[in-house]
Structure 1
Amino acid sequence: MVDARIRLFVPEQGGWRSPVDASSGLYAPHLRIGPNGEYLGVRLVQGPAELHPSDSAEVTFELMYDSIEYSTLRVGNHFEILEGLHAVGEG
């Protein structure tokens, strides 16, 4: 598990129009450190039930894959939240 502070982008920045449920375990984006970093599969398991575009929140990510190296997720590192090729937030 990894705790992080995230912010979702507004639609004009490529983000969502509606809120994301950060507490149900159903939202599973990728994180990427830097523009050429590896896609890191995660699932949001703790946070607000309604995380709206432009909102910031403290959340907990579950690391989804045993075969992926997650060591780049360190305190102080900036990351993008990706859905496919599109950045929808940051942390």
Structure 2
Amino acid sequence: MNYTREKICIYIKIKFFEDKRKTPVKFSDRNYRPHFVIKNDSEYLGVQFIEGEEFVFEKEILGIVQPLYTDTVDYSKLIPGTEFFILEGKNLVGEGVVVEKFKTELS
């Protein structure tokens, strides 16, 4: 049997702070899984980077993330225009804004 299901993807514009993170991230590895916290909110939203431009500190770059915990966490607040912080544990390492939200089918 071949099962398919839709997966949410979020296109984002982000900037990482040089004084907060020591090493660059390689987004294509799909191993970078920080949390987003919407500005003026306190809920941690776990995401996984699946694609991104070359990492440069203090420069805005584009990327795509997928929510990790859609069965238990509500990601509906991540809509175009939403500003958020990027956290690794409790460490604030960057910030960004949602550009677009779309669905893709994974098989």
- TM superposition score category, shorter chain reference: 0.7 to 0.9
The count of residues paired between Structure 1 and Structure 2 equals 87
Is 1:27 aligned to 2:32, yes or no? yes
Report the CA distance between 1:35 and its aligned residue. 4.1
Task: Give the TM-score of the pair, scaled to structure 1.
Answer: 0.87
The reply to whether residue 16 of structure 1 matches residue 13 of structure 2 is no
Q: 1:2-81 to 2 correspondence within 5 Å? A: 2-11=10-19, 15-48=20-53, 50-65=54-69, 66-81=71-86
Q: Once the 2 structures are TM-superposed, how far is the Cα of residue 70 of structure 1 from its aligned partner?
A: 0.1
Gaps of 5+ in 1: none
What RMSD over aligned residues (CA atoms) do the two structures have, in Å? 1.2
Find the structure with the greater CA-based Rg: 2
Give the residue type in structure 2 aligned to 1:63.
Answer: P
Once the 2 structures are TM-superposed, how far is the Cα of residue 32 of structure 1 from its aligned partner?
0.4
Gaps in structure 2 of 5+ consecutive residues:
1-8, 97-107
Deviation at 1:59, TM superposition (A): 0.3
Deviation track 1:43-79 (CA, whole Å, cap 9, x = no partner) reads 100013x413213211000110121100110111110
**2: CA distance between counterparts of 1:33 and 1:21?**
23
SS in 2 for 1:23: helix
Q: TM-score, normalised by structure 2?
A: 0.75
**Shift of the alpha carbon at 1:34?**
2.1
Runs of 4+ residues deviating >3 angstroms: none
Give the % identical residues. Answer: 36
